[in-house]
Structure formats: C-alpha cells, structure tokens
Amino acid sequence: MCNRFETIENRTSMMSKLPVLLVGYLRLSEIQKSIERLVMFGVQDIYLTIDRAKTQVDLDKQRVFLEVLQEKYKSTEVNLRFWHRSENLGVAASVITAIDWFFSQNSSGIILEDDILFDEKFIQFCERAWDIYGADESTWMVSGSNFKPPGNNLSVDFINYPMIWGWCSSAKKWKRMREAYFTKPKFRLIDWVTPNLAYFLNGRIKANLRIIDTWDIQIAYEMLRARAYSVLPPVNLICNKGFDDKAIHTTEAKFPLDLPINDLDLSKTIYPLSPYTGVDNLNHYYEREIFRIGYRHLWSLLKLRIWILLFSKHKRDSLEAKLAGIELPND
C-alpha cells in the first residue's frame, strides 16, 4: 500500500524550521530515500544514528554508506550529523540514546525510524500542531499516525498513548518521558484491576528488565498515568513498512502496518483547545483494535510479579544500567 507516498513528485519546499532525527539500522536504501525526501521538503538539520551491524558484511555496508552520504552533503546547505554506534545496542538502548543525543542538541524536533514512510504534509502538520500545543504541559507529542477509520472529521484527535511512528516533541517533554526508564512506579491498586493499566505496567516492567527489547511501552504507561496527550492528525499521514527481512520484531503486514498515507488539507484542519474531547473513545478504540487488551492481562501482570519474587536473585542487567554505560557524542 502506501500508494500516495510512492507517487510524490520531486519539488522544492519552503524551509522547515524543525530538525529531524532519523534512527536506523540495516535499511540503508530506505534511510537514503528518507534523507532525500527530508531535504526535498526543506529540512536542513538532519541527525542520523545507525546501530552497529552484527556481521562484518553488514558493518562494511554501513561504513561505505555513511562515507558516501557524508561526501554527498558536505558542500550543501544541509547540516547532516551522524552517530554510528561502536557496538550493537539493540532496539531500546539504540533508540533512547539516539533521542537523548538529538534533544541534547535541539529544543524540539521530529523523530523518525528507518521503516517509516512520510510525505510533506506530515512535516507541515508537525510544525503547525507543535506551535499550537507544544507549550501545553499535558501534551507530550504530536504524531503523524491515526489508525481510526478515515471519515469526514477535520479536527485533530487526542489520545493518552504515545504514537511513535513519526512524531514531534521537545527536550523538556522527552525528559519527562525518559523518567519511565529510571523511576520505579509506586504500587497502585488501580493498576492491578484495570486491564489497560495492567497491560502497560506489565510491559514496562518486562522492558526495563530487558525481558523484551522495546522502548515505547514504558512511555505508554507513564502517559496513561499522567493523562498526557498525543496529538494526532485527522487522517493517517504515516506508513510503516517495518515487516521486511530487516525487521527485528515484525515480519508480516498486520494492521495497522502498511496503512495508506492520506491527503490532508491543512488549511481546513481544526485545532481545538483544552479541554480535549473524545479522548476516552479513541483510547478505547486503540485498546480494542490495536493493543487487543482484555481482562487476561490482569493475570499476566500477576504472573510476572510472581516470577520476579521467585527469581529475584536472577541476575539480569536492567535497561537503566545499559543506558548508564552509553556515552553521547560531544557535538
């Protein structure tokens, strides 16, 4: 699918004021296409991180790719910075430290991964929506994804979950999100009797113990607890192609992967102010159709707690410990 993305014509756009971070691994041709589109859409400050390949063949490809990329843009107006990791960090540590580096250099910006397809409307929507909602303490990000069935709605949507397939945020908000990797949540009975809270608390504990290698489920729990918001476009502006042979977690195009990119008339888009409406309804739709949350997840959380109690002496490096050992580039 993603048909609209494939037919974008080459054109020169107005300069984009937001820098962009592109997080990659082995999808080198996709990374190149993303950079070319960002430049075409007027983005001049691009940050690229690539996790170190596990094989020598792939590592050589990464090195040649970065050399060619650096040569291509060194005499242009594009400010391209890259960080090629000295070791393979895995998904969570690689993405988290990439965002750390990006926001150590910028007050706000857009984050993309190498399996995300986008067009110019996504960049423009991020800039417009962040201008409007970025100062709101309860708004943690603007996203390009919206998985609900398309309709005639012209208004942006709000949800209490992180939508991280192409998103925009700030250093200040990222600092708040990042607490999810270091703070131990206090016991709350509501987490044990509410399926969606149990689902994400279970995921947060597993991820921070590195039982699973992910970085966003921890933020989901924090956003749900804090009633923090992601701002979504009226229609989907992102296509995720992360089900190819280079995928880490996904190998087939299950919903909502491979959704088409829709057209958005930014001049007609409505940006309502707080208090935001329809949040609970959209939360419930995602919990039912995307996350597939049910009462069985209460039992999953209990089983995890029992496992931790029984095997508390089992040595496992935490995500916090892993992150503490990674030094960011100086520039």
pLDDT band at 8 (very low <50, low <70, confident <90, very high): very low
Residue whose pair of structure tokens reads 């994400």 in the numeric block? 200
What confidence score (pLDDT) does residue 5 get?
Answer: 47
What confidence tens digit (pLDDT) does each residue in 215-260 have?
999 999 999 999 999 999 999 999 988 655 555 555 555 656 668 8
Q: pLDDT tens, 36-56?
A: 999 999 999 999 999 999 999
For residue 117, name the pLDDT band (cuts at 50, 70, 90): very high
Q: What is the mean pLDDT of residues 91-120?
A: 96
Planar angle of CA 32, 36, 38, nearest 5 degrees: 115
- Identity of the residue numbered 157: D
Q: Whole-number mean pLDDT of the chain? A: 89
CB 244 within 8 A of CB 238: no
Q: Does the structure show a pLDDT above 90 at 187?
A: no
Helix (H, G, I), strand (E, B) or coil at 103: helix
- What pLDDT is stored for residue 305 in this prediction? 82
What is the number of other CB atoms lying within 10 angstroms of the CB of residue 247?
A: 16
Among 103-117, 179-193, 312-326, the range of highest mean pLDDT: 103-117
The alpha carbon dihedral of 142, 145, 147, 150 has a sign of positive
Global pTM reads 0.91
Closest by CA position to 255, among listed 288, 210, 304, 298: 288
Fold of 3-324: Spore Coat Polysaccharide Biosynthesis Protein SpsA; Chain A (3.90.550)
What local confidence, expressed as pLDDT, does residue 9 receive? 44
Q: Between β-strands 108-113 and 20-24, what pairing exists: parallel, antiparallel or unpaired?
A: parallel
